[in-house]
Amino acid sequence: APGNWRQPELPEVIAMLSFRLDTVKSNAAAYLQHLCYRNDKVKTEVRKLKGIPVLVGLLDHPKKEVHYGACGALKNISFGKDQDNKIAIKNCDGVPALVRLLRKAHDMDLTEVITGTLWNLSSHDSIKMAIVDHALHALTDEVVIPRSGWEREPNEDSKPRHIEWESVLTNTAGCLRNVSSERSEARRKLRECDGLVDALIYIVQSEIGQKDSDSKLVENCVCLLRNLSYQVHREIPHAERYQETPLAPANNTGPHAASCFGAKKGKDEWFSRGKKLPEDPGADTVDFPKRTTPAKGYELLFQPEVVRIYISLLKESKTPAILEASAGAIQNLCAGSWTYGRYIRSALRQEKGLSAIADLLTHDSERVVKAASGALRNLAVDLRNKELIGKHAIPNLVKNLPGGQQTPAKNLSEDTVVSILNTINEVIVDNLEAAKKLRETQGIEKLVLINKSGNRSEREVRAAALVLQTVWGYKELRKPLEKEGWKKSDFQVNLSNTSRTQGGNSFDDSTLPLIDRNQKTDKKSSREEIQMSNMGPDSYSTLNERDHSRTLARSGDLGDMEPVKAAPLMVSS
């Protein structure tokens, strides 16, 4: 600083936020944004010095340079390990203030900072419902719908519109992705928000059409769609209309003994396999029920279009989070005994999606493997799917189990191992050929090792014991197994406390998640802070930070912020 001038202390900067001159307010907010960049200590001090309520108050200031600077400072303060900063913003009505500013914003740079701040805040569980209640409709009406290219009633002559403001859409989808993991009430409000699901699906379809299946925007949208598909068969309006009572599983007398279709009859019962064998040509042909009006809103979550989207992403995307979300969405849609679950299980086969999911079992990401396993388990409720999965997926399911001679050895988590064991059991129940395939691929060796090694968890032992019990239930396999040296005692385990029944219409719902937790393998993670550098006489520029230690893994940068005019912030000494 020249001569008699010095940089102001933090309390002085916060005091300047309340100065009568707007130029001083905007410069103070911009300088505060700079001080908070990558500095958790300063962020905490700003909170303790009561600077956050003043910044929130400036969001309603009529001049852009003031509310823009204040929002940039709040965006930096809301990013980081100190969750109290997020709570402080919420407690002084920061979310409604950000929404008021969002509704007035008409330019991309300001909207980007607002949505980035909301994305940061959405990572805290106690703020999620506040965002749903105050910001959902504004984000949908002001950002998602107008920038997605989707039109409620497109004219026949109008050309397809393209995505605009991709970084803003990415922030918004990331925020909604986080809040959708909160609770059923949040999911209900998002599903029923007019135009939201329609626009999200349009965005993903557009990105696939542009051969961009690995963008952060696609990831956030698909993870959000996956969360909205969680418990969808129970939570949508009039869910009882679609419920079907599953038939009790038959005895293990062969691969075709049990029916995977419900016993319910009526207008929803459009197709009955009866005693048709899977070899029947008609068994692979499925048509969704005819509609008199196009599906819209939450109905789109379980229509043929969305099935094709997930299959396209499974085949084309290289991003683990997108693969996991796509498989998880399929898993969710196929959970439960409901009409559309039955349609979708068949449609996945018809659209050649089974092999795409089975291929994920060899993926390097354990989360992808687990999601694929869960999807296959729910798809195997369909008899034809069960046979195909038994033929083609059993070897890779077995390879993911611990033990055996494979190199490198698999060392998956307890949850993933249990998921794989449950899927294997679902596939081999009433499916002798799949049980034979299990034996041929050294599956028995691995199962007995899990059961008797003494170093596996109780959940893993119980899941393995169920599979062994199912295998021994096939009388045709007992002599071949005994010739190989196995004894009846190898297949007998105390399962008196096991709550899960053996096969037959059991389902997994995908664990709700997809708040994207930081993974060590994610090397492209970026930040949500704005850095001010090059403080000079007449301008500063804002840059983005790459930060691997954040709670939310957000790979991909938001892009450089446009320079904003500001005067140097100095005080007389």
CA–CA dist 183, 212 (Å, integer): 31
> In this predicted structure, what is the pLDDT of residue 81?
80
- Let me know: does 17 contact 25? Beta carbons within 8 Å: yes
Contacts of 162-167 with CB under 8 Å at 24 or more apart are: 162/206, 163/203, 163/206, 163/207, 163/217, 165/108, 165/111, 165/112, 166/215, 166/217, 167/108, 167/112, 167/558, 167/559
Query: What does the alpha-carbon distance between residue 439 and residue 461 come to, in Å, rounded to a whole number?
Result: 18
Sign of the C-alpha dihedral computed for residues 273, 503, 354 and 289 taken in this order: positive
Rounded distance, CA 51 to CA 54, Å? 5
Return the closest-CA partner of residue 415 out of 457, 381, 380: 457
- The pTM of the full predicted model, rounded to 2 decimals, is 0.81
564 beta partners: 540
- End-to-end C-alpha distance for the chain, whole angstroms: 10
CB 95 within 8 A of CB 130: yes
User: Could you give the CA distance from residue 178 to residue 77 in angstroms, rounded to a whole number?
Assistant: 19
Q: How far is it, in rounded angstroms, from Cα 469 to Cα 424?
A: 12
Measured CA to CA in angstroms, residue 346 lies from 236, 243, 283, 381, 509 at distances of 22, 17, 9, 10, 18
Q: Omega before 408 cis (within 30°)?
A: yes
Contact assessment for residue 502 and residue 427, using Cβ atoms and an 8 Å cutoff = no
Q: Running DSSP on this structure, what letter comes out for residue 243?
A: B
Ordered mean pLDDT values, 10 residues apiece, the chain (573 residues): 74 92 94 92 94 96 94 94 93 96 94 96 94 96 92 68 88 95 91 95 92 93 95 83 63 36 31 34 59 84 89 95 95 88 89 92 94 94 92 92 71 91 93 91 88 83 91 89 86 58 53 40 38 31 29 30 35 41
CA distance 380 to 428: 9
SS3 at position 210: coil
What is the spatial distance between Cα 78 and Cα 242, in angstroms, rounded to a whole number? 43
DSSP secondary structure letters along 515-562: S-B--TT-TTB----EEEE---SSEEEEEE---TT-SB--BS---PEE
CA distance 314 to 210: 16
